[in-house]
Structure 1
Amino acid sequence: MAKAASPTEKGFIGRNAGWIGALAAVGVAAGGVAVGVAANRYAKRRRARAGDQLVDEPFGELHYDDQFSVTTEDGVSLHVEVVEGERTSPTLVYVHGFCLDMGTFHFQRRAFEGEYRQVLYDQPGHGKSGRLPRGEYTLDALGAGLVAVLEKAVPDGPVVLIGHSMGGMTIMALAEQAPELFTDRVVGVVMISTSAGRLNEVTFGLPEVVSRLNRPLLPFVRRAPRLTTAVADRARKAGTEIARVLTRRYGFGSPNPSPAVVGYVEKMNSTTSTEVIARYIHTLYTHSRLPALAVLRTVPVLVIGGDADLLTPLVYSQEIADELPDAELVVIEHGGHVALLEFPDEVDDAIERFLERLP
């Protein structure tokens, strides 16, 4: 029998209902989405799985040649995996986004396996990496973490940095901290579904009047007590079906994405604790690194964005491309926020063409 919430927990739930809704950025929409979810879901799931070519895809189980940990300056242990390839130059280094892990690059890792040397790692508080002992996570610290990974996994030689969402922001933070790397070692940058700032203006596809209600609440999410986040985690696990629907709505743009891929993304989301999410919100909400893009003018840049991305809309990719006159912008038609999982062939082809053009 499930344990009933204590009066203390109930009090926390009542007082923090607003920030929990803001945290999901879809709180107001959730009720409407939930209506009808239970009806016929079993039959729909069976029909979807029957036609899903990726139902047996080994997500999270790809080959690696080496794995190890890297400890950051603030004491977080980062899980790193290395996949060797015939081409040892340049090394492809992948940096994943918020509430995800290195598995976000599943199809890219597989596409370039055996050809390029590849390095992947889980960001602090995500996947198999450790958590920050105390305080807030910051993009500055993520940039420093990327430096630590490079120093151990790729001590010399050219690299291509490939960042998705928060991973792209991490690369911008690195450019701000260590611009010399972009003249000495980084020979190319790929940024997928990311932004140089103004995330507080994202409406998440909600009516403007609704999205305005959530924005003032976001900076206060980081103040949520540990007990409240524990309660929220239990609620997330209990609402798996709704979480899957929301993942499909806000992560994907095509009308019929692979249920296996949706499930994999939802799994990555659900394994990122609410406490970690709350401690990241402030740095993402205040992210502003448009000036840092000037450093990237010294290297070839590929910008990829989906035209149906509700989390980092295409306008943010276009803004980055506008700041980098020589950058190539590739738009994925019907692509959502995880276009690299939703339309892997298109994304892989764009990256392959980009790599082939590098000096």
Structure 2
Amino acid sequence: MEKEVYIEGKKISYEQESPEQQKNIIFIHGSGATKLTWKHQLKATLPNYTKIALDLIGHGESQGNGYSSIDDYVDFIKSFIEALNLKNVTLCGHSMGGAIVLQFSLKYPHLLDKIIIAGSGAKLKVHQDILKATLEGANYAVDWAYCEHTKKELIEEAESEFNNTNKIVRYNDFLACNEFDIMQKVDQIDKPALVIVGSCDKLTPIKYAQYLKDNIKHSQMVVIQNAGHMSMWEKPDDFNKAICNFLQ
């Protein structure tokens, strides 16, 4: 069900599936993306959980200009949680969304039950060529974000909302990722954590996920076979099974 809430005077679009339950899981997309990222997760059977996927400020159907720092996105997610008066929250973030979740768990741990990090890392350096191409409106994801075995039709559907987010917003997202670095702080995270990575992920390879697994105390790692950076799209059943097992 499509819904909206106002934060900082901006209309924020989100989708909520399943009636309100005792617990909530919020899905946070990556750089320049939209809530479409989580299409298959919103359909997953997660008993006792209300599933919510939002367009971050300035993305998709949400108003605003986005941010160029992960910290600003963290505070925005805090405002979103407070605006909806959500309790018992699990955050699930992909790529930049994963960085937001990691930083959130350091800054506002009292607001969280658990965290799920998909295709992300404790540091997210962005190649200068990608930054430059993003400003020119290019979609790097088509060449980089999917496993070579992934069907072309699936990639086209997953990328169909690419133009719904302004290229400047996407560029600023990549700047935020480029500045993100909690390599020395990640061992302070004290929440149960699931780290998910695609076996073919070129953008945030398995070593990134392994670092998180090795440094977050209460963590487990799942490698999704024959999936790239967009494992939630490429292998939704495997991805959903991993989060369902973790939440239960």
Q: TM-score, normalised by structure 2?
A: 0.88
Amino acid of the structure 2 residue aligned with 1:71:
I
Q: Deviations over 1:187-226 (max 9, x none)?
A: 21111101110424x6xxxxxxxxxxx46x94xx5xx9xx
1:98 matches 2:31: yes
Indicate the residue corresponding to 1:250 in structure 2.
144
Correspondence for 1:140 among 58, 71, 74 = 71
Amino acid of the structure 2 residue aligned with 1:68:
E
Count of residues in correspondence between the two structures: 248
Moved more, 307-316 or 169-178: 169-178
Q: CA deviation at 1:267?
A: 1.7
Q: TM-score, normalised by structure 1?
A: 0.63
Quote the sequence identity (%): 22
Q: CA deviation at 1:156?
A: 4.4
Indicate the residue corresponding to 1:307 in structure 2.
199
**What does 1:1-359 align with in structure 2 at a 5 Å threshold?**
64=1, 67-72=3-8, 76-85=10-19, 88-112=21-45, 116-132=49-65, 137-153=68-84, 155-181=85-111, 186-200=112-126, 214=128, 218=131, 232-233=136-137, 247-255=141-149, 257-297=150-190, 299-356=191-248
Query: CA RMSD of the aligned region, Å?
Result: 2.6
Q: Deviations over 1:159-196 (max 9, x none)?
A: 11111111111112222332332xxxx22111110111
Q: CA deviation at 1:334?
A: 1.9
8 Å CA contact retained: 2:187, 2:217: no
**Cα distance in 1 for residues equivalent to 2:76 and 2:114:** 19
**Cα distance in 2 for residues equivalent to 1:101 and 1:198:** 19
8 Å CA contact retained: 1:193, 1:312: yes
Q: CA deviation at 1:114?
A: 7.7
Greater share of helix residues, 1 or 2?
Answer: 1
8 Å CA contact retained: 2:46, 2:244: no
Amino acid of the structure 1 residue aligned with 2:225:
E
Q: Deviations over 1:88-134 (max 9, x none)?
A: 1221111111121111111111113786311221112211112228x
Q: Measured at CA, do residues 132 and 247 of structure 1 come closer, stay the same or move farther in structure 2, by a change above 3 Å?
A: closer
**Cα distance in 1 for residues equivalent to 2:207 and 2:96:** 16
**Cα distance in 1 for residues equivalent to 2:173 and 2:125:** 13
Q: Measured at CA, do residues 290 and 260 of structure 1 come closer, stay the same or move farther in structure 2, by a change above 3 Å?
A: same
**Cα distance in 1 for residues equivalent to 2:166 and 2:176:** 17
Runs of 4+ in 1 over 4 A off after TM superposition: none
Amino acid of the structure 1 residue aligned with 2:98:
G
**Cα distance in 2 for residues equivalent to 1:161 and 1:337:** 19
Q: Measured at CA, do residues 292 and 83 of structure 1 come closer, stay the same or move farther in structure 2, by a change above 3 Å?
A: farther
Q: Measured at CA, do residues 294 and 166 of structure 1 come closer, stay the same or move farther in structure 2, by a change above 3 Å?
A: same
**Cα distance in 2 for residues equivalent to 1:273 and 1:166:** 16
**Cα distance in 2 for residues equivalent to 1:85 and 1:296:** 31
Indicate the residue corresponding to 1:12 in structure 2.
none
Q: CA deviation at 1:295?
A: 4.3
Q: CA deviation at 1:142?
A: 0.4
Amino acid of the structure 2 residue aligned with 1:152:
A
8 Å CA contact retained: 2:197, 2:209: yes
Secondary structure of 1:80's counterpart equals: strand
Structure 2: which 5+ runs fail to align?
A: none
**Cα distance in 2 for residues equivalent to 1:150 and 1:263:** 32
Secondary structure of 2:36's counterpart equals: helix
**Cα distance in 2 for residues equivalent to 1:317 and 1:324:** 11
